[in-house]
Amino acid sequence: MQYDAVILGLGGIGSSALAESAARGLRLLGVDRFDPPHAMGSSHGGSRVIRLAYFEHEGYVPLLREAYEAFDRLSRDSGVCLMRRVGLLQGGLAGNEIARGALASARVHGLRVDGLTGREASKRFQAFDLPDSWELVYEHDAGFVRPEETIRVQLSRARAAGAEIRTNTEVVDFDDDGRKVRVRFADGSAVEAGALVIAGGAWAPRMLERFPSLRGFHLKATRQIILWIGYADSAQSLSTLSTSAMPVWLFEDGEGGAPYGIPAFAEMDLPQGVKVGVHQHGTDEVDPLLLNRTVPERVAQDIYARVARRVKAVRGAEVVATAACMYTESTDGHFVVDALDPEAPNTIIATACNGHAFKFVPVLGRVLAEAIQDRGSLKSGLAKFLRRPARD
């Protein structure tokens, strides 16, 4: 056998799995069809929200504590600052799920949060203009992490620990015979490994559609749009759109999905303006290779207008850049991390990141590294939880 494992995809999750497995002394090959970090998948745009008071389910909080420790450790060891705790204001219409879920997580795990009305929040953070009836939660320890820098750091850790990396190399097929996995590349060559980890992001649904075990999850890639809103005068941009007036925010405004924003931050190469998007599931399914990366002016202006109603700091500013990105979605919004199929026990998948996985990449990397060494670890403990957390 040439390798203990092949890691397919070196984006957020795969680069972390490669680094964590290499640190355990395994013989590894990491492969990516592009040259990561890149802007073709799900891990670009400069920043990703990280938060502890998880509104989706309080069961994620122990994983998030581990992720915070890991981002701090990676930053310390690499000398690259990968995470900033700038706070997060989240919530919206009375009775909204986001504030309710965040408060539930905070209560169970003793997290530092403040409950605020719209008026209180607008007074505390001058960037906002929120109705008084809104119910919000401010989380002190939330903030953002840096996807591209995280991938760079993970790949350099992996290389330093002896992992082999092939970029611009596409995996076209694999065959798991129960003893080993044979992985075939677009140039016709192949390698054999004890395990294959599929961390193919938005490409995974197509790659995995022939496996009956995944049909119930209805995996799909969807198109997501990001805008940057800034002022022509960059000094004004940074004073009004930066973290002093504006923490990270996520609002349930009753218009479908939840608009969010991450402030400008010059020290971390995020100077061009506040980055905004709308966190939502069930948008149009796309083929990652055919993704339309152009954002129509009308779509950008609609998002801008929606944001400007609540975020007064962006009024009068302009959309200065746009990008398209992809979520990989499953039916229940939770990650799918497991052996692929009883027929393919050495093929491990980490997919369905549903637009909220970047903050977990160090944890997913650790879980996948353990799974390469011991497939049994996937059936117990956190990996099982990652697959399908119990719902109340």
The residues of the shown chain that bind ligand FAD, judged by CB under 6 A, are 8-14, 31-34, 36, 41-43, 48-49, 170-171, 199-201, 203, 224, 226, 277, 325-327, 353, 355-359
Report the residue number, 27 or 184, with the smaller CB distance to ligand FAD.
184
Q: How far is the CB of 8 from ligand FAD (least distance, A)?
A: 5
Is the CB of residue 54 less than 8 Å from the CB of residue 61? yes
Q: How far is the CB of 47 from ligand FAD (least distance, A)?
A: 7
Q: How far is the CB of 53 from ligand FAD (least distance, A)?
A: 14
Report the residue number, 132 or 285, with the smaller CB distance to ligand FAD.
285
Report the residue number, 230 or 355, with the smaller CB distance to ligand FAD.
355
Q: How far is the CB of 171 from ligand FAD (least distance, A)?
A: 4
Q: How far is the CB of 78 from ligand FAD (least distance, A)?
A: 19
Distance of alpha carbon 325 from alpha carbon 151, whole angstroms: 16
Q: How far is the CB of 247 from ligand FAD (least distance, A)?
A: 13
Report the residue number, 201 or 230, with the smaller CB distance to ligand FAD.
201
Q: How far is the CB of 198 from ligand FAD (least distance, A)?
A: 8
Residue nearest to ligand FAD (CB): 11
